[in-house]
Amino acid sequence: MRVLVRTLLSAALAGLALLGPIASASGHGGGGDEPRFRALIFSKTAAFRHTECIPAGTVAIAQMALRHDFEVDATENAAEFTEQNLARYDVVIFLCTTGDVLNAQQQTAFEHYIQAGGGYAGIHSASDTEYDWPWYGRLVGAYFRDHPGVPGVNQQFQTATIRVEDPDTAATRDLPRRWTREEEWYNFRTNPRNLVHVLMNVDERTYDPRGYSQPGGSPPMGDHPIAWCHRYDGGRSFYTALGHKGSYFKEPLLLSHILGGLEIAAGLEPCRGENPRLDQLARQVVRDCNRDGDLDRDYPLGALRRALRLVDEDSRCARRIERAIERAQRERERELLRIYRDCSRDGDLDRDYPRGQLRRALRLLPDELREYTDCESAIEEALDDRG
């Protein structure tokens, strides 16, 4: 049954469970025109239930639909996951889902939906969902491990600084390069960086990231992606770990981030991780590896990461490519240190560096170098000189 968005808002604000599809109005300025895209919010939980995230997130997305001309339904009924019903939507939003929420038949329907070019957007505990369904794990990008909140060690909610890695996407273009906010900061079982296009990471130096899964606190991730997007199995995927508290869904910057992510997942905006040249090189990496089980030349890190997505994760080629990625990452870190040593020595860069290296060095510039040296201005000047 389809109802007006005001009914959705009233129900969610009253804390009522959303047990059937509930639709927002669309085309608020178009006089009956087609909406820009159609979305389905799915918020079923089979483990921990986020009693703030689900109603507040549903309301926020419904309000977005009114303001930005798209249509949204909401359900916690997994029976809605049929191929016929899912085909009505451009993106399915897993809003703070947890546990095993779909049966085998429903999982197959969702796989077919993505394979037919559908979109997925995961918010917060969408990564704490369907641990026994490897396909879903690859779709979301990484599974949740734990978060801070270790008794006697640290607080569950902490203020930390997010570093925006790609500022040129719909999900990040309104954000400051360094975004400081409070959150329940998720740690993941694996680092998704080699499988996805990372949009943002959280700077572990700005908070205590140790999680509750080990006595005394689990180890930090180090490199800590917190939002990303990628193409997967014919479809599109966007994930953000942000959004635990209901009050967070009143933050304009978070709402802009989520709206942009929905637009990416719906296919209206590019993920920006797409690069035809690197895609071609990735296919060459796979051919090279399949030919004799080895890589006969050095490839760019981006091409290696894309190649890893194209091979079976348990194959010999996957292991070869992972080792090549590790070598390329070590070389990239050495390049970064060379730039920092150069600029911190005399406030200038004494040699030419590729533009990509300079942009990365500026994005990851440590606070102490930013504050106590002229590195920031030196790198910016070098970038300006390169047009």
**Domain-ending residue, one of 214, 241, 265:** 265
Question: Same domain, yes or no, for 173 and 285?
Answer: no
Q: Residue 133 is part of which domain span?
A: 5-265
In-domain check, residue 270: no
Question: Same domain, yes or no, for 108 and 140?
Answer: yes
In-domain check, residue 271: no
In-domain check, residue 226: yes
**Residues 182-208 pLDDT 10s:** 999 999 999 999 899 999 999 999 999
Q: Does residue 355 register a pLDDT over 90?
A: no
- Number of domains observed in the structure of the chain: 2
Q: What is the pLDDT of residue 32?
A: 53
Question: Same domain, yes or no, for 215 and 100?
Answer: yes
Question: Same domain, yes or no, for 65 and 200?
Answer: yes
In-domain check, residue 61: yes
Q: What is the pLDDT of residue 231?
A: 92
Please state the three-class secondary structure of the chain as a single string: CCCCHHHHHHHHHCCCCCCCCCCCCCCCCCCCCCCCCEEEEECCECCCCCCCHHHHHHHHHHHHHHHHCCEEEEECCHHHCCHHHHCCCCEEEEECCEECCCCHHHHHHHHHHHHCCCEEEEEHHHHCECCCCHHHHHHHCCCEEECCCCCCCCCCCEEEEEEECCCCCCCCCCCCCEEEEEECCCEECCCHHHCCEEEEEEEHHHCCCCCCCCCCCCCCCCCCEEEEEEEECCEEEEEECCCCCHHHHHCHHHHHHHHHHHHHHCCCCCCCCCCHHHHHHHHHHHHHHHHHCCCCCCCCHHHHHHHHHHCCCCCHHHHHHHHHHHHHHHHHHHHHHHHHHHHHHHCCCCCCCCHHHHHHHHHCCCHHHHHHCCHHHHHHHHHHHCC
In-domain check, residue 124: yes
Question: Same domain, yes or no, for 107 and 240?
Answer: yes
Question: Same domain, yes or no, for 40 and 171?
Answer: yes
Q: What is the pLDDT of residue 313?
A: 80
Question: Same domain, yes or no, for 162 and 248?
Answer: yes
Q: What is the pLDDT of residue 384?
A: 83
Q: Does residue 20 register a pLDDT over 60?
A: no
**Residues 312-339 pLDDT 10s:** 888 889 899 999 999 988 888 899 999 9
**Residues 36-51 pLDDT 10s:** 999 999 999 999 999 9
Q: What is the pLDDT of residue 312?
A: 85
